[in-house]
Amino acid sequence: MPKKFEEFNLNRQILNAVEDAGFTVATPIQEKAIAPVLSGQDIFGIAETGTGKTAAYVLPMLMQLKYAQGDSARALILAPTRELAMQIQEQVVLFSKYTDLRSVVIYGGIGPKTQIEKLKAGADLIIATPGRFLDLYLAGHINTQYLKFLVLDEADKMMDMGFIGSIHRILEVVPRKRQNLLFSATMSELVHKIAGDFLKHPTIIETAEQATPAATVTQHLFLVPNFKTKINLLQHLLKNDEEFKRLIIFCKTKTVADNIFSYIERRFGTEAVRVIHANKGQNTRINSINDFKEGKIRVLVATDVASRGIDVSEVSHVINFDVPIIIEDYVHRIGRTGRALATGDALTFCTEAEKYYIKKIEKLIRQSIPVVALPPEVFVEETPYEERQAIAKEIDHQKRKDDPDFKGAFHEKKHAASIAAAARNKQRDKKPSWKKKKFKK
């Protein structure tokens, strides 16, 4: 039987806030993490995305901070993206509503003036992206000497985004005596390295096998020959607005995301869709996510920069229009659906060139993704010459990655052509001299 929150050593103010939020029983990660965090243990948590891990560390941390104290922060939570930082801040505000604890969220992409003013007014918790935190610390706006808690959330994504240097710099400026909490959905060599530098004799909490997608998510794989057929399949699926009522479409690049957005906007109207990626302004991204949360739009198109930090209930489907090249992102993408014990579907569109990454994803998650036949209504387009060439080059590149001695199909064709030309020249040179003479009329 899952534990009720009343069974943990949490005070009445926090329990009232939990009740207001509609939480009654703890998820597995909350059940395993709350008690050790309360007892002061360093934690290394490996948890599926969408399992309630933010509450697993925020609730016991709020319990230990208890009330507002001084102007300098006593807890620092680091997140890889501004979207995730904002989502954590929402949870902190939600659970601290009956306390006087103050929290500030800081991230790049906007001017720091307002954030500096909030820090000067006093904060007990800071939720930050690593780059902006270092900028404001080096400018003298943050005092770290009173920090008692340091949290790294989505550590694997931080490593993927190249934040390991920033994390080491932050570790140099925070007190040595502190409680450390690290959470990651997947495990990599860099996560192991930062865990070794960061944690002291941690309690390891694992609610599922590493990189295992949530059991509440049903996965499907569609094998498609080209981009245009992907568009046709997407159009077919979106016609079913009863089943596909709220969905996120993930794309590999900003260009593809913008193209998909424009296509859906033309077909289904301006109020049906929004797009978020790194080139979109901060306010645009915030407003798009809020519109999606509030059900004002049906479709959100996003790149992987936004795959973590979108905490929206009742997302019916995630569609991977492109297979992610960073294979760990697959787990985080599909974790946007099937959240908080709800069910969801994840559909992936895969060309011949993307099968390479699907094999690696299946190895990572230790399961096969079931292949589903294309619906008969979906028109299969002929692959244009340029796209055929691009797919062939990509497959060559993949083979070279796995085998450095592989020369490539293009190399072989070119080599074969040069051999044939040399043979023709040799044959011509062998012709009798009288055949080469030109006779005058």
φ/ψ of residue 102, rounded to 5: -110, 135
Per-residue pLDDT, 435: 47
Contact residues for 73 (Cβ-Cβ < 8 A; gap 6+): 104, 123, 124, 125, 126, 142, 143, 144, 146, 147
pLDDT (tens digit, 9 = 90+) per residue, 402-419?
877 776 655 555 555 565
d(CA 195, CA 202): 9
Q: Average pLDDT of 224-253? A: 93
Which helix (H) or strand (E) segment holds residue 128: the answer is: strand 125-128
DSSP category for residue 441: -
Higher pLDDT pick, 296 / 212: 296
136, 116 Cβ separation under 8 angstroms? yes
What are the strands of the beta sheet with 75-78, ordered from one edge?
103-106, 125-128, 75-78, 149-152, 179-184, 43-46, 203-206
| Residues pairing with 249 in the sheet | 301, 319
d(CA 91, CA 52): 10
d(CA 124, CA 75): 6
pLDDT (tens digit, 9 = 90+) per residue, 262-304?
999 998 888 889 998 877 777 788 788 888 888 899 999 998 7
In this structure, of 19-28, 121-130, 242-251, 335-344, the range with the lowest mean pLDDT score is: 335-344
d(CA 402, CA 408): 12
Q: Average pLDDT of 416-429? A: 62
In this structure, of 91-100, 193-202, 318-327, 420-429, the range with the lowest mean pLDDT score is: 420-429
Which helix (H) or strand (E) segment holds residue 255: the answer is: helix 254-268
Given a cut of 50, whether residue 159 has pLDDT beyond it is yes
Which of the four pLDDT bands, split at 50, 70 and 90, describes residue 441? very low
pLDDT (tens digit, 9 = 90+) per residue, 108-132?
988 899 999 999 999 999 999 999 9
d(CA 315, CA 318): 8
232, 207 Cβ separation under 8 angstroms? no
- For 236-253, the three-class secondary structure string (H helix, E strand, C coil) is HHHCCCCCCCCEEEECCC
In this structure, of 92-106, 135-149, 167-181, 198-212, the range with the lowest mean pLDDT score is: 198-212
Higher pLDDT pick, 121 / 3: 121
- For 298-345, the three-class secondary structure string (H helix, E strand, C coil) is CEEEECHHHCCCCCCCCCCEEEECCCCCCCHHHHHHHCCCCCCCCCEE
301, 150 Cβ separation under 8 angstroms? no
CATH 3.40.50.300 fits 217-381, yes or no: yes
d(CA 45, CA 39): 16
Given a cut of 60, whether residue 6 has pLDDT beyond it is yes
CA 284 centroid distance within chain: 19
Per-residue pLDDT, 428: 64
Per-residue pLDDT, 410: 52
Which of the residue ranges 131-135, 198-202, 326-330 has the most confident prediction, judged by mean pLDDT?
Answer: 131-135
Given a cut of 60, whether residue 438 has pLDDT beyond it is no
CATH code reported for the domain at 5-206: 3.40.50.300
Given a cut of 90, whether residue 241 has pLDDT beyond it is no
60: nearest Cα among 87, 95, 93, 88: 95
Q: Which two tokens stand for residue 288?
A: 């798009």
78: nearest Cα among 6, 17, 152, 143: 152
Q: Which two tokens stand for residue 212?
A: 């295992």
Q: Average pLDDT of 39-68? A: 88
d(CA 269, CA 393): 37
Helices (H), 66-129: 82-95, 113-120
d(CA 302, CA 20): 31
The helix/strand/coil state of 373 is coil
In this structure, of 246-250, 330-334, 419-423, the range with the lowest mean pLDDT score is: 419-423
Mean pLDDT of the chain: 86
Given a cut of 80, whether residue 313 has pLDDT beyond it is no
Given a cut of 50, whether residue 387 has pLDDT beyond it is yes
In this structure, of 127-131, 146-150, 165-169, the range with the lowest mean pLDDT score is: 165-169
Given a cut of 80, whether residue 48 has pLDDT beyond it is no
d(CA 106, CA 116): 9
Per-residue pLDDT, 210: 54
User: Percent of the chain, pLDDT > 70?
Assistant: 87
Domain with CATH 3.40.50.300 in the chain: 5-206, 217-381
Whole-model pTM: value is 0.63
Q: Average pLDDT of 142-149? A: 95
Per-residue pLDDT, 56: 92
What are the strands of the beta sheet with 217-223, ordered from one edge?
217-223, 344-350, 317-320, 247-250, 299-302, 273-276
Q: Average pLDDT of 336-346? A: 78
Residue 185 CB neighbours (<10 A): 27
Q: Which region holds residue 255: left if phi is over 0, alpha if psi is between -120 and 50, else beta?
A: alpha
d(CA 311, CA 92): 14
User: Percent of the chain, pLDDT > 90?
Assistant: 53
In this structure, of 180-184, 272-276, 309-313, 319-323, the range with the lowest mean pLDDT score is: 309-313
Given a cut of 50, whether residue 439 has pLDDT beyond it is no
The helix/strand/coil state of 165 is helix
